[in-house]
């Protein structure tokens, strides 16, 4: 957009019209971050708004900064006013801005994409070209907006559930999403594990299997491994040494992934408290790599020992 179409100004917060799609992806953590800055220095970062429409300036970027100013008692904020054309043009600009800011998550992107496609007839291909994203990326964001339950959306907003896992949860029926997502988070499952369980749920007609996946995802994940394992050699059937060894490795891998995923989502205080055990885990991991490289260097997929046991 040409520079001459933009104008720096100062606006009253009451003059700025909020965008529900952007607010959807705004967490209290985002607001608190800007409140600290606003309390000490005022609002030092401008919001981006459209040219006035019916007397109001529609916000295109900076929802968290605006909310922080309001909650801090700041009545005026610096703004950059742009002429985004019609409503579809303004939404396109807001969507493009999401990739350049850290305050909007995948939910806001999905809401904007949904508005553009369903309300303004913008084609997915146009959005792919506009954003430089893949068709699959646009489709997943759209699915999150249209298919995720409100409870799961809130989990994404507050950081409990990562967007990549939410993309998979969106493939489940709405009435089981919240329970599954909550149990998956409590078990520390990562996106790959969530994806495997969701695929298993959709590919079975067994009510018991589906219940197990929803209510006990970690246990279901281990059972899933048993169902997809390769046929064992004769001396490894039933509960032979090869099966036991494979189960132990599978369980260890799951627990390791769980621990790492929990660490990635933990706050600084929790990480500090668990520093000792995680340093030990790191050291054991380094030793494990050396040992497994030595043990497996002569094992190939063409030999009986090369088959993966669960």
Give every CB contact of residue 228 below 8 A, 6+ residues apart in sequence.
310
Q: Which long-range contacts (CB under 8 A, 24 or more apart) does 175-183 make?
A: 175/149, 176/210, 176/214, 177/148, 177/149, 177/151, 177/152, 178/149, 178/151, 178/152, 179/214, 179/215, 180/213, 180/214, 180/217, 181/151, 181/152, 181/155, 182/155, 183/214, 183/215, 183/216, 183/217
Secondary element (H or E) of residue 219? helix 217-228
* Same domain flag for 11 and 143: yes
For 90-127, the DSSP string reads HHHHHHHHHTT-SS--HHHHHHHHHIIIIIT---HHHH
* Same domain flag for 137 and 22: yes
* Same domain flag for 286 and 190: no
* Same domain flag for 201 and 263: no
Q: What is the pLDDT of residue 5?
A: 62
* Same domain flag for 290 and 255: yes
- Which residues of the chain fall below pLDDT 70? 1-5, 25, 44, 84-85, 97-105, 225-240, 296-310
Q: Whole domain around residue 275: which residue ranges?
A: 230-306
The pTM score is 0.51
The last residue of a domain, from among 107, 125, 147: 147
* Same domain flag for 224 and 240: no
* Same domain flag for 215 and 236: no
- Number of structural domains found in the chain: 3
Comparing CA positions, the residue from 83, 137, 71, 75 lying closest to residue 106 is 137
* Same domain flag for 218 and 245: no
User: How much of the chain exceeds pLDDT 90, in percent?
Assistant: 17
The last residue of a domain, from among 228, 247, 273: 228
Q: What is the pLDDT of residue 229?
A: 40
State how far the Cα of 131 lies from the Cα of 46, in Å rounded to an integer: 23
* Same domain flag for 216 and 288: no
Residue-wise pLDDT for 80-97, tens only, equals 777 766 777 777 777 776
Q: What is the pLDDT of residue 240?
A: 67
Q: What is the pLDDT of residue 299?
A: 53
Percent helix, strand and coil across the chain, each to the nearest 5: 65, 10, 25
Q: What is the pLDDT of residue 12?
A: 80
Q: CA-based diameter of the chain, in Å?
A: 80
The last residue of a domain, from among 228, 243, 271: 228
């Amino acid at each position: 957009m040409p520079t001459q179409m933009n104008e720096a100004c100062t606006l009253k917060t009451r003059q700025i019209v909020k965008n529900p799609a952007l607010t959807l992806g705004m967490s209290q953590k985002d607001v608190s971050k800007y409140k600290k800055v606003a309390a000490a220095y005022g609002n030092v970062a401008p919001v981006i708004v459209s040219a006035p429409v019916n007397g109001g300036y529609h916000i295109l970027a900076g929802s968290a900064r605006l909310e922080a100013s309001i909650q801090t008692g700041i009545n005026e904020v610096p703004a950059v006013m742009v002429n985004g054309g019609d409503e579809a043009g303004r939404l396109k600009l807001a969507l493009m801005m999401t990739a350049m800011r850290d305050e909007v998550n995948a939910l806001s992107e999905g809401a904007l994409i949904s508005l553009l496609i369903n309300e303004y007839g913008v084609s997915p291909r146009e959005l792919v070209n506009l954003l430089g994203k893949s068709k699959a990326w646009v489709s997943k964001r759209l699915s999150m907006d249209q298919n995720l339950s409100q409870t799961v959306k809130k989990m994404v907003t507050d950081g409990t559930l990562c967007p990549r896992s939410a993309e998979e949860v969106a493939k489940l029926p709405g009435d089981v999403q919240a329970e599954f997502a909550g149990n998956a988070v409590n078990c520390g499952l990562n996106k790959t594990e969530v994806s495997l369980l969701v695929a298993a749920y959709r590919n079975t007609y067994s009510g018991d299997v589906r219940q197990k996946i929803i209510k006990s995802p970690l246990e279901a994940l281990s059972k899933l491994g048993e169902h997809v394992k390769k046929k064992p050699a004769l001396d490894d059937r039933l509960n032979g040494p090869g099966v036991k060894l494979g189960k132990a490795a599978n369980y260890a891998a799951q627990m390791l992934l769980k621990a790492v995923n929990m660490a990635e989502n933990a706050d600084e205080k929790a990480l500090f408290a668990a520093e000792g055990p995680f340093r030990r885990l790191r050291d054991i991991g380094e030793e494990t790599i050396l040992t497994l490289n030595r043990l497996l260097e002569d094992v190939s997929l063409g030999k009986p020992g090369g088959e993966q046991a669960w």
